[in-house]
Amino acid sequence: MALKSSPVLFGWLTRLSRRNFSTSKALAAKPVAVRDALNQAIDEEMEKDEKVFIMGEEVALYDGAYKVTRGLWKKYGDKRVIDTPITEAGFAGIAVGAAFAGLKPICEFMTFNFSMQAIDHVINSAAKTFYMSAGKVPVPVVFRGPNGAAAGVAAQHSQCFAAWYSHCPGLKVLMPYSSEDAKGLMKAAIRDPDPVVVLENEMLYGVPFPMSDEALSPDFVLPIGKAKIERPGDHITVVCAGKAIDTALEAATTLAGNHGIECEIINLRSIRPLDFQAIARSISKTHHLITVEQGWPQSGIGAEICARVMESSAFFELDAPAWRVTGADVPMPYATTLEAHALPRAQDVVAAATAVLGNKISAASSQ
């Protein structure tokens, strides 16, 4: 019996060894929370370059309202990790002035809703000075913090600023999703010579994502302006960024399981500059398009993407009109049930895909 079983056992071991080699990268991946990935990025860049410093409300002694700056004050001291009063217009202006002088400030807003107090410094001072100085005064400042809806914080604390800031030439606008996104994009933002707005999401801070050995390395940086295919697919392109990717991925699982529809989900990572070529390539394969965002519909990121598609040769690749899935066109309600209905849900994306694909749903399901 042992002799008869040995070839079977040998074959099984051979397949197992091949499997281990083929998935070694995934097995080696380490789960890291988004807040910790951001912390790694800031820490590594502060250690690498003494011109980098961070300032904002509660970033020092309290380790940050969301613990993104945990341990940095103890490591770098008062001069490089600076607690500020509750005065966004004041410390944002100081950050921009420091960038004028050649330093590399990271300006944390406890929420981007509070950046409205400082928007003159972000738009008129940071974004426009390099142009208005004929290229003589670079402004290497990073504005970062949680953006968009959280949970139960009502209308004044739930806005998405992606469309607001990406409207302005002179700014680069990033929206990370995973821990690798967070670390790689934050490091790129700090190193960039231009002002960069990094729109994080409070609901993602505590979520662990696998990080490869490459991403855990101090040398890991992601390019600004390059999207990532979060999930490949052949039937419909779904373009999104940040927390909306969770919604799109959930919908994609439902569509694949119930209808045999495979969504290609594009994680934009960068809102401005926008990787339109990645979108166009995907449309040329799927011939259908949905955009998903938590912001309001009018003049939103989805509207911009749809306009660019219509103005380009990608338009002729579409077999059906594009569809936007957005937040409701209302101030965010405080009531939990209403809040849930004011944000895009997976079922909304499924309904949009059903509408866009039309009668192809039944054809795919019958195969």
Which strand (E) or helix (H) includes residue 40? helix 34-48
For residue 105, the cross-strand partners are: 53
CB 290 within 8 A of CB 323: yes
Q: Nearest 10 degrees: CA dihedral of 217, 219, 220, 225?
A: 170
Strands 142-146 and 104-108: parallel
Q: How many residues does the chain have?
A: 367
CB 109 within 8 A of CB 144: yes
∠ Cα 278 196 223 (to 5°): 40
Residue 157 to residues 162, 185, 333, 340, Cα–Cα distance (Å)? 14, 24, 11, 15
Closest by CA to 216, choosing from 22, 23, 36, 48, is 36
d(CA 247, CA 316): 28
Closest by CA to 234, choosing from 211, 210, 264, is 264
Cα Rg of the chain, angstroms: 23
Assign 312 to helix, strand or coil. coil
Buried b / exposed e over 170-190, threshold 16 CB at 10 Å, is bbbbbbbbbbbbbbbbbbbbb
Residue 254 to residues 3, 193, 259, 352, Cα–Cα distance (Å)? 47, 43, 8, 13
User: How many other C-beta atoms are found inside a 10 Å radius of the C-beta of residue 161?
Assistant: 25
d(CA 53, CA 242): 25
Which residues are known to be catalytic?
88, 157
